[in-house]
Each structure stands twice: as C-alpha cells, then as structure tokens.
Chain A
Amino acid sequence: KQEVTQIPAALSVPEGENLVLNCSFTDSAIYNLQWFRQDPGKGLTSLLLIQSSQREQTSGRLNASLDKSSGRSTLYIAASQPGDSATYLCAPQDFQKLVFGTGTRLLVSP
C-alpha cells in the first residue's frame, strides 16, 4: 500500500526566501505525481503534474522534481511571497488513484 510522507509538516519563513518542500513515497510504481495547494477551508488547486518519465516540471516560481526510483519529489518555491501561504500537498498516482500526504503548512511573513 502506497504511503506518502511530507516533511516538514509546517514551515515559517520571511518573504523573499527560496524554500524546498519534500515528499517521499513508498511504492515507486507510479504513473505521475501531482503537487497541490490548499487554502484554509477551500478545495485543492493543482500546481504541477510530473509524469513518471519526467525529472522535473516548472511553472513560474515553482519547480517540482521527481526521483521515482528513490521515491522522492521536491517542490522548490523561489522568492516566496505572503500569498504563497497555504498547505502544499503531494500526491503520487497509483494507476487510477491519487494517494495524498498530510501536507506542509507554509507561512510566509511580510
């Protein structure tokens, strides 16, 4: 059974810092991995999807990498802003289903 761990559970940084969120998963037989953002009391917003054949994917200030063989993915956020404050979730896809970690709660202070 796939298990997903996200470290750290919470992170507080001043505005402008570059930061890295980590995700590890136990079963490397995945189709892809998605990173999501969740604001308090809201649904999930898809940030990036990395296919199993890819090593990384970029969107604006976000860069996600995937090392399938070691069961790891990282989300890199450049030049963080207060608007980036949210919970970030990673979810590898096992065939038809996503399996979620518990997330990293990020607070970026002005």
Chain B
Amino acid sequence: DTGVSQDPRHKITKRGQNVTFRCDPISEHNRLYWYRQTLGQGPEFLTYFQNEAQLEKSRLLSDRFSAERPKGSFSTLEIQRTEQGDSAMYLCASSHNMPRGTQYFGPGTRLLVL
C-alpha cells in the first residue's frame, strides 16, 4: 500500500498525559499537512511542512502541540498535557509541491482523552 499511513489508528489517554502520533506520507510527496476533525465539522488545518521545514502553524495549534518532520519524510505530532477538548480525529495529508497538487489523506488517528 503506497498511500498515507498513520499510527496509531486509535489512542485513549487520560487527561494530562502526553501523546505522539506518526504520519508516513506518500514517498515522493514533499508537502505534509496535519488537520484536526471533530464530530460534525470538516477538517481544520493545524500545520504543514515542505520537506523538513515547518511552513505554517494555525492558531489552533496551542503551545501544547508540536510537530516535526526531521528528515523530510515521516512526521510526528505531539500533544503535551492532553485536555478533553483535544479529543478528535487527527488527519495527515500529503501532496506534491505543485499548483493544485491534490492532497491525499491518511486514515487518521482517533484520540479520546478521558
């Protein structure tokens, strides 16, 4: 399977714990995006990378969130001191760096904070 993969697919944690999610993009894609989706809403942008450079972070990305893409391949998204409001589906997408490049989404990591 050469699509975008994410790990884990599900995560249940207690409030205050740290969690880390991983995304492996399609291999030739140099842009990687993180989005968050809550029930009844469309995905909302969090941050994105071109190769290893983090180009932009949205205002949704509080200081408890950090994302990296150290070698320009896979990316990690860490949430520190989780809160119940962090419960959501975290989606990763990747694309070529070209105009109108289609973004392909991974299956997501579903986070539940108790």
Asked if A and B are interacting partners, one says no
CB within 8 Å of B: which residues of A? Answer: none
CB within 8 Å of A: which residues of B? Answer: none
